[in-house]
Chains A and B, each alone.
Chain A
């Protein structure tokens, strides 16, 4: 904000000074130009005839998708069970690995700020940068297709997520509660379990449930690269252009995600 004093006249109030104004406008201009240039780039790689045809294609697709093949649902229960297992066991494994990692990464609990902490942070970053689908792709090459690859893919992606949020929670704990137990003569392991763990418990539970909810969603597509679950059926149905089956799968996914979201909201509510 700027107030411009003019001799002989009441001071002029403007939100920004003229230079600031100019900079803001230039910033916006640059952002718009960048976006347009990027769109240009995408546009060059697009066959626009297909796009103009999209509404008809879309209508056609919807026509072929309905009515859903309800009978197909019978074959989906086992893949659905697998999907839920991939998400749940994957989250459990991620917790087992991610919790120690978080304690190694947090500034106030790490055994060594110079050696251990950077390593733990690197593992967290690497895990988080790579999407679970890419983890699945790698694991399917190594382990072969199946549920195990899916579980490990979910675990490898979630471990960084849980590790990061948990170590931030650990760094934000109340220092004096830790001091109080240190002053009783408790050893470091006891201080960890009596003063730090109780403080981060709610955050930990919230993070885990939150990630489980996300993982249910992720697990529905891992099958596309062969890592088990309902995505395998989706892949097969799309490849054979069996669109009514695809609709059935979508509806089932919709229902599952809705239930998991409701469940995780309930659990989070109960904890806090």
Chain B
């Protein structure tokens, strides 16, 4: 059997302050799998996905993407490797003073030279692709609007498109819904999952909302204090598991609420 898309082995991160954010994480993500990463604040979720594309340098362990070891790559080789990993941020992280189109095209920066990018001379194919994606999420008419003129949900769609423009094999998604209202949160999660299915992308989605995680992901990994304490399908997530991840609490309502939300969503659809 071929190696899974992403393989983390013994991934460890200790910050200069001495905090151990990741403690020997082993994780394999096959192609096309949408995985949710849950856990309390400070469990190391954000550090984990940042260690994958080395926005945070791991202290020890190995990260292999498509068979390539990332932790020892030179800066230039790392940039080439990063093109295969699209990242989506909690606060959208759009360049606010650039237009929507420029933000989407910025996903192609890894593929074009400096002057080409400076004069916005992207290949026609890229611009067409950007327009197709913008149309797909209903924002084609906003292409020349400035990014700071958009609503939260619209900004996050642009953030998703920027990641897709990279032609990634893997999406790293950091709390995509933390700044959004419940309805927009569901729409954004559905969009991410749909796009992953269409394109056969794998995704690691950091998410606070256990209900959303259960509904949209096919696999759930629970992280606590830098260690994986749960790895299984959403159905296996019960009160005992949640206690293991988050600590003692009355979980019955959380689990039931996610069911209710599903009913509501179906009624609304």
Bound complex: CA of A199 vs CA of B96, how far in Å? Answer: 8
Instruction: Write the residues of chain B forming the contact surface with A, with a CB cutoff of 8 angstroms.
Output: 53, 55, 76, 79-83, 85-87, 89, 91, 93-98, 102, 106-111, 114, 117-118, 159, 162-163, 166, 172
In the complex, A186 has a CB within 8 A of chain B: yes
Chain A residues with Cβ under 8 A from B81's Cβ?
185
Bound complex: CA of A189 vs CA of B109, how far in Å? Answer: 11
B166 contacts A181, CB within 8 Å? Answer: no
A185 contacts B83, CB within 8 Å? Answer: yes
Interface of A is mostly: helix
Within 8 A of B (CB), among A194-229: 194-195, 198-199, 201-202
B98 contacts A176, CB within 8 Å? Answer: no
Given contacts A193-B117, A193-B118, A194-B106, contact A183 B87 (CB under 8 A): yes
Instruction: Write the residues of chain A forming the contact surface with B, with a CB cutoff of 8 angstroms.
Output: 174, 176-177, 179-187, 189-190, 193-195, 198-199, 201-202
Chain A residues with Cβ under 8 A from B55's Cβ?
179, 182-183
A194 contacts B95, CB within 8 Å? Answer: yes
Bound complex: CA of A185 vs CA of B106, how far in Å? Answer: 10
Chain B residues with Cβ under 8 A from A176's Cβ?
89, 91, 93
A180 contacts B79, CB within 8 Å? Answer: no
A177 contacts B79, CB within 8 Å? Answer: no
Chain B residues with Cβ under 8 A from A202's Cβ?
97
Given contacts A193-B114, A194-B106, A194-B109, contact A183 B85 (CB under 8 A): yes
Bound complex: CA of A95 vs CA of B112, how far in Å? Answer: 29
Chain B residues with Cβ under 8 A from A181's Cβ?
95, 106, 109
Bound complex: CA of A201 vs CA of B265, how far in Å? Answer: 44
Q: Min CB distance, A188 to chain B, in Å?
A: 8
Chain B residues with Cβ under 8 A from A185's Cβ?
79-83, 109-111, 166
Chain A residues with Cβ under 8 A from B89's Cβ?
176, 179-180
